[in-house]
Chains A and B, each alone.
Chain A
Amino acid sequence: MEFNTPEKPQWCPGCGDYGIHTALKQALHEVGAHPKDTVIVSGIGCGSKIPNYVRSYGLEGLHGRVIPTSVGIKIANPELTVIGIGGDGDGFSEGGNHFIHGARENFDIVYIVQDNHIYGLTTGQASPTTPKGMKTKTTPDGNMINEFRPVPMALVAGATFVATAFAGDIMHLKEVIKEAIAHKGFAFIDVYQPCVTWNKLNTYDWYRERVYKTTHDPSDWNQAWEKAWEPYVTDFEKIPLGVIYKKEREIADDFFSPGRKNLVKEPLDPNGIDVSFLAKEFL
């Protein structure tokens, strides 16, 4: 496949990131994306190594900064398919401000979170989505802190596409990614990703017993809101998968870049630009 790389990812055997990696490449292939017009943007974490394993353009940037980096690329060149991808620590802790404002401003990017409820690469500390009670290196007596709730948060902040998926169901995840790529606006996918090394609670089996494909109307805010809360009100007995909410509205890209041109393609005169027409107010 055109997105394959010679190197194989080196995640722990059984890591959920493999499924996400496969689904992402397959989704890009199926929507007909070309490597030249695809940019995979990540932060830092186990899953954030993913741009190394997709043969396209990519930017493996800083921990927590997936969204602003993606936004800069997409505004400069709106013809690109820009996929931001990073972990839960990256996106919800370090990058929490960008998550809120990215959703609010409705930038035209896809944002996938590899949500394993733990810090993997830094060897097993509690993350914002670590369940209450779970023992980790930084919560040796069990986590006492409420978990961060990405899906309700995305809805409240104003995301126009909010979905959940499971790294253990590649076919479904792939379809959700395809739908996110087709969406105009901030498309957020919270992907439940088992970390076989550090998270012994949220395993593949744990998820399989709880997840189900939702069939509600994602354009209905009230139904979306109910689904967003379902895992929390059922004490994680029922976890809906699929598009939770979807409704297009104006995107920030149009506001910050009037006319939304491909700024890379706009020619630059090597002699410089005569800016006197911009300086009349100073004469």
Chain B
Amino acid sequence: MDFTIKVGAAAGEGAFVTGKVLGKLFARGGYHVFGYPEYPSLIRGGHNSYQVRISDGTIESPRRENNIILVLNPDAYAFHIETLAKDGVIIVDKSFAPGKDERELALPIADLIKEAGGDMRMKNTLLVGVTLGLVGYPLEMLEQLLEEIFGSKGEEVVNANKRVARAGYEIGKDHKKWEIVPKGEPKYYIAGNEAAGLGALSAGLRFYSGYPMTPASSLLHFLISKRGKLPLAVVQSEDEIAAINQAIGAAYAGVRAMTGSSGGGFALMTEAVGLAALAEIPLVVYLAQRTGPSTGMPTWTEQADLFQVLGASQGEFLRIVLAPTSIPENYRLTGEALNLAEKYQVPVFVLVDKFLAESNATLDSLPPIPIERGPIILEDMEELPLMKRYPRYKDTETGVSPRPVPGVRGGYHIGTSYEHREDSFTTEDFDERKKQVDKRMRKLAHILNESYPPIVEGNGRVAVVAWGSQKGPVFEGAKKYKRIAFNWVYPLDKEKVKKAFEGVERIVVFENNATGLFSKLLYMETGIKPDALVLKYTGRQFFPEQVEHALEMLEEKDFQSPDPIRYEEDFEKYEFYAPWRYKVK
């Protein structure tokens, strides 16, 4: 089963709420659901849409075709009608229904609501009712959810919503076309950023600091909403520079700390990444990319900040870059990032993008993430003799040195942005300097040892490659081929990567950017060179249908293309509506 419902509305008309309600209802019925919002960088005006995709099995991508479309204004009709399946239904208000398409289900929305004793704010409730009726999904589940949503507003509001829902449901039932019934245990329906927040909390996050920036802000909101429910401080900082330095301070003090932003905010944080690296203070940076450079297109997606992260801050130092490839993985890897940071005392990046951060997906459960803190010292030690410091930066076999935190007797030392001796005192002694660089770099072998091998599915002579968030659409569109995805992006273990590519003769890499950044990195680190690159940098992620199409095109060339395949006109037939082709009234 693979079923899609799309809600389209003017900004502020409730497309997201409606979509999320639908997503949650099907997740409660045990389905896998993928929820995908789109919106312009405006608070009012402009067009918002939300696609709910429902399936029996795991899904990690939206698709183009919709079975049901709910439109709340005439623009929405124009934008989305092209994506309606041949046997689909578009639910539309009679007042603006063109009446030319037999797939239209035109309803006198205002009259229906009035008859049911509701008010126009309940338009979305009515449409959800109609939708459930069309697929025969139990009305009681919607009624239950309405009680939860509106319970605090009093019985009358709940009852009015229920009446309106029922009125819609009856109409839908009269036109019933599909049969979708609950089939299993409820699943969590969670957005990417929320999954990251939960994963971090599961792994013991105690301090988060951030400054609002789309698409990372919802992580800040989510964590603030959990303050007071467990030991957790969340600071809305005066700017991103403050945010990262606060997180570094908290991490130095001995708690698991993270900061987050998008590329622009991270640009401001850059200098402090080097401080964390030199002072060996465990730091996690959650970076949700959007379309750049500069302000770019704030509410759209891209994978173009990879080299920004790899090159952030002056000097040479180790860092780890993770790029979760799905929302459940965002839960796990954001938690794991905190482990890696403390085990190796290096900066760790969780590199996501708007597509992953703001889409929703289902998770069966939230398994606790085991906590490994590395050589942290939290218990008092023997008192140090006067005039002595603790050898915080001791040259060890693994390069990682025991780390007492303030409050611990006998661990006196400073964290410092200057090169330092083993006892942390500033130095410009060449031998000491070299010793400390070697010590820090020695961690690499251990980090590589622990690095995740690429995710491999299927086999064959052609490998289709994605990194981070694009795994979902690319794997779905490349089912015929061997599929390889990278969630551990840097540093790359040559042997593990080579093993993933064993038996492969052609490599096609799909990237959501204009210059194939990951392909360059892959070549730099492993010598593996793609035979073809497919690049999309319009502001949207790939669609599975586009991936399929691009691979068909490449098949004719035996998957070899000296020039990258870029998003062209012929990609557009696999797109959702193209907002740039329409004028919003």
Contact = CB atoms under 8 A, between A and B. Distances in A.
The answer to whether A and B interact is yes
B235 A71 contact: yes
Contacts of B127: none
Contacts, number: 236
A278 B201 contact: yes
B532 interface: no
A98 interface: yes
A98 B369 contact: no
Nearest to A105: B238
A108 to B, nearest CB: 13
Given A68-B241, A266-B231, A278-B226, A59 B387 contact: no
Interface in B389-446: 389, 405-418, 425-426
A75 to B, nearest CB: 5
A39 B238 CA distance: 23
A87 interface: no
B335 A76 contact: no
Interface stretch (B45-53, B246-254, B289-297, B465-473): B246-254
Interface in B154-175: none
Nearest to B190: A282
Contacts of A57: 405-406, 411-414
Contacts of B410: 36
Interface residues of B, number: 81
A52 B414 contact: yes
Given A61-B248, A272-B203, A264 B275 contact: no
Given A44-B417, A69-B245, A264-B407, A36 B366 contact: no
Contacts of A266: 206, 231
Interface in B221-244: 226-239, 241-243
B351 interface: no
B272 A62 contact: yes
A97 B233 contact: no
A90 to B, nearest CB: 12
Contacts of B425: 5, 7, 52
Contacts of A263: 206-207, 231-233, 250, 255
A71 B389 contact: no
A2 B386 contact: yes
Contact of A55 (B237, B248, B253, B387): B387
Interface string A63-79: 01101111111111101
Contact of A98 (B228, B242, B389, B411): B242
B209 interface: yes
A57 B390 CA distance: 10
Contact of B201 (A49, A100, A256, A273): A273
Contact of B229 (A7, A35, A278): A278
Interface of B: 24, 28, 186, 188-190, 194, 198, 201-204, 206-207, 209, 226-239, 241-243, 245-257, 271-272, 275, 279, 335, 365-373, 378, 380, 386-389, 405-418, 425-426
